[in-house]
A and B are shown apart, each in its own frame.
Chain A
Amino acid sequence: MAARNVAMREAIRRALREEMRRDENVFVMGEEVAYWQGTHRVTRGFLEEFGERRVRDTPISEMAIGGVAVGAALAGLRPVAEFMTINFAFLALDAIANHAAKVRYFFDGMFKAPLVYRAASGWGNQATASHSHAPEPIFAHFPGIYVGCPSNSLDAYGMLKASIRDDNPVLFTESIALYPKPSPMPDDLDGDYLIPIGKGDIKREGGDVTLVAYARGVDWALQAARQLARDGVEAEVVDLRWLRPLDMDLVYSSFKKTNRCVIVEESLPMYSFGSEIAALLQENMFDYMDAPIKRVAAEDVPLPYSKEIELLALPNAQKVADAVKEIV
């Protein structure tokens, strides 16, 4: 099948635009999404095509963005609310965790809140501490919401479409570093191409060690796997794609084959994605475990401005490869 390389930003834009064309109730709101054309240019051209009613610039009001999306969703719309970066979504944590995620439960199923929060995530180049977070696990902590974190263009396309069409609230993060990164998308892609919420994917097969990752971590895992292959170590790369629900069957089946695991994430190490996967593995796969589970994450420190020490704090492919070498 013919394919061409598409940047993840373009794939997300395409998915969002197609969903807005498909369903009149889908609309976007957020800071600079309309006239500015989106801080990350995801909504470029949207204002022209859909107008101010469906492409809504908001003030710098994250608490309201978070909560207005809930109210609009309760009342029958399907908002796609953008947090310019996920760092600002902290301001909306109450709206997300206490309202979006719980409104169905505390009225025992009376209402639903079909909304998507989009947020650009990850550290930038010297963006400094308050603008350098990949805190997806914080949001995945709360039952009632799903969390999706794509690692390439085709996944982003199918995951965002599923998120918009699903009746549950979804927090959808987009790695800033992956926005410009091209990856193949089929030319004749079906507009109904959906990736089920909570379905992971094997991005590379291998029998010696399982690398579990999401979003940008998948890139580092794949780079590390190529490097390791030169030394005769075949790594299997499991891209969970969703932090909630977690497709642990995929991890378990890989682990039963490799008996070794390194977990890779862009976020911080304490109470993290890595902690969760490692805990689940030891609880459920103890008999298959031939080596300690290793975790590669950012260093446990706020990110500094200066380049050398910034890079020192962050995960990369080499750190992943080094961790693998400790257990194979």
Chain B
Amino acid sequence: MAAPTKEMLLDWYRQMVLIREFEETCHRLYEEKRITGVYLHLYSGHEASGVGSMAALRKTDHVITAYRDHGIGLILGMDPKAVMAEMMGKKTGSSGGKGGSMHLASAEHNFWGGYAIVGGHLPLAAGIALASKYRGEDDVTMTYVGDGATNNGYFHESLNMSAIWDLPVVWIIENNGYGMGTEVARASGQVELHRKAEAYGIKSFGRVDAQNALEVYAVASKAVEYARRKGPAVIEHVTYRYRGHGVSDKQYDARDDMSAELQEWMATREPIKILRDCIESAYGDVAAILAGHEADAARIVAESVKFAEASELPATYEDLMRNAYVASDLVHKSEGSVGAGID
């Protein structure tokens, strides 16, 4: 693995402040009822986990995640306008307003999506990796999975399948301490979640401080190369969520201990600050560049809100029905057909 260059670090900073600005704006818009819907799971606090690990990928590699997917999409280069429009359910949204916050995807970025059922995307990840291997390609499927999902049958079955078939998957367990409101220790017999890899004969790359993008990158680079050449790899990212499970989550208001815990993480393990300190200690005064990225983030997100709010809502019956099925000459449709979908 090559050490990250100055350009890379500055770009990571750009990505991280963009995510933070985007997510905090989403939070505000939700409070203001300008984003509606019951589900909005923010990536604030997780930034270094996604940024550092995806920096280890090539363009042809694949990415899939669960519902905390805004940051993942933005890192991969999705247009913030299309993402914000999706938050607002607009036709110009990346999923045409059909998917919402939990279902971002981008075919052009090999981003196969955010998925909303805990663990449901894990066998999809194995299937995407199987397709790469089947075709003799050496692309890797990077898969983000929360700590809570490691207790679910999908996790067990998918990791096991990836092991017996030597599939090129990097399973990144984003351990932010809680599955909804349940602490890891109350939900999992094995609290060192990366050690679950042992049960399937999968190589674990251990537990990483995922508030530090450089450490994340260093380990992810090794795991990605391992997956590309040999088979599945597991990494545990220890991170923290700043905005609860989702925006409707009021646990931080209800529990003083959690509020204190959050303040502690923000004060001592803030991923953007950690990266900034690294850059400054290595390259001296980069304040102007970083301030430029911060200003850009504010501008880009403000523009995305403006774009999204000006966009049209899907409203017709055709908007509703379209794209349940692929239009196909092999499907018989007549006036009396029931359940065929509309083209």
The stretch of B14-22, B30-38, B96-104, B297-305 in contact with A is B96-104
Q: Which residue of the partner chain, among B112, B124, B157, B326, contacts A104 with CB atoms under 8 Å?
A: B326
> For the side of the interface on A, what is the size category?
35 or more
Report B-chain residues with C-beta under 8 Å of the C-beta of A72: 127-128, 130-131, 134
The stretch of B5-13, B114-122, B242-250 in contact with A is B114-122
Report B-chain residues with C-beta under 8 Å of the C-beta of A71: 64, 112, 123-131
Instruction: Please judge, given known A-B contacts A27-B134, A111-B112, whether A245 and B96 are in contact too, CB under 8 Å.
Output: no
Q: Is A165 an interface residue (CB 8 A)?
A: yes
Q: Is A323 an interface residue (CB 8 A)?
A: no
Smallest Cβ-Cβ distance to B123: which chain A residue: A67
State the Cβ distance, B237 to closest chain A Cβ, in Å.
22
Q: Is B311 an interface residue (CB 8 A)?
A: no
State the Cβ distance, A25 to closest chain B Cβ, in Å.
8
Q: Is B140 an interface residue (CB 8 A)?
A: no
List A157-212 residues whose CB lies under 8 Å from chain B: 162, 165-168, 194, 196-199
Q: Is A230 an interface residue (CB 8 A)?
A: no
- Return 13 A-B CB contacts under 8 Å, by A number: A63-B157, A67-B120, A67-B122, A68-B124, A68-B161, A71-B112, A72-B134, A76-B135, A106-B99, A108-B97, A110-B105, A114-B326, A168-B325
State the Cβ distance, B196 to closest chain A Cβ, in Å.
16
Number of B residues with CB within 8 Å of any CB on chain A: 56
**Once the chains bind, are B330 and A53 in contact (CB under 8 Å)?**
no
State the Cβ distance, B167 to closest chain A Cβ, in Å.
9
Report B-chain residues with C-beta under 8 Å of the C-beta of A64: 123, 126, 154, 157-158, 160-161
The stretch of A94-102, A121-129, A288-296 in contact with B is A94-102
List A120-160 residues whose CB lies under 8 Å from chain B: 140, 143-144, 146
Report A-chain residues with C-beta under 8 Å of the C-beta of B337: 198, 245-249
Instruction: Please judge, given known A-B contacts A64-B158, A94-B117, A106-B98, whether A77 and B131 are in contact too, CB under 8 Å.
Output: yes
Mark interface residues in B80-102 (1 if CB within 8 Å of A CB, else 0).
00000000000000011111000
**Once the chains bind, are B330 and A194 in contact (CB under 8 Å)?**
yes
Instruction: Please judge, given known A-B contacts A63-B154, A98-B117, A107-B99, whether A197 and B332 are in contact too, CB under 8 Å.
Output: yes
Q: Is B254 an interface residue (CB 8 A)?
A: no
Q: Is B315 an interface residue (CB 8 A)?
A: no
Q: Is A213 an interface residue (CB 8 A)?
A: no
Report A-chain residues with C-beta under 8 Å of the C-beta of B268: none
Smallest Cβ-Cβ distance to A276: which chain B residue: B338
Report B-chain residues with C-beta under 8 Å of the C-beta of A65: 123
A69 to B96, CA, bound (A): 25
A114 to B330, CA, bound (A): 13
A199 to B123, CA, bound (A): 32
Q: Is B316 an interface residue (CB 8 A)?
A: no
**Once the chains bind, are B340 and A245 in contact (CB under 8 Å)?**
yes
Q: Is A73 an interface residue (CB 8 A)?
A: yes
**Once the chains bind, are A59 and B161 in contact (CB under 8 Å)?**
yes
A114 to B189, CA, bound (A): 38
Q: Is A66 an interface residue (CB 8 A)?
A: yes
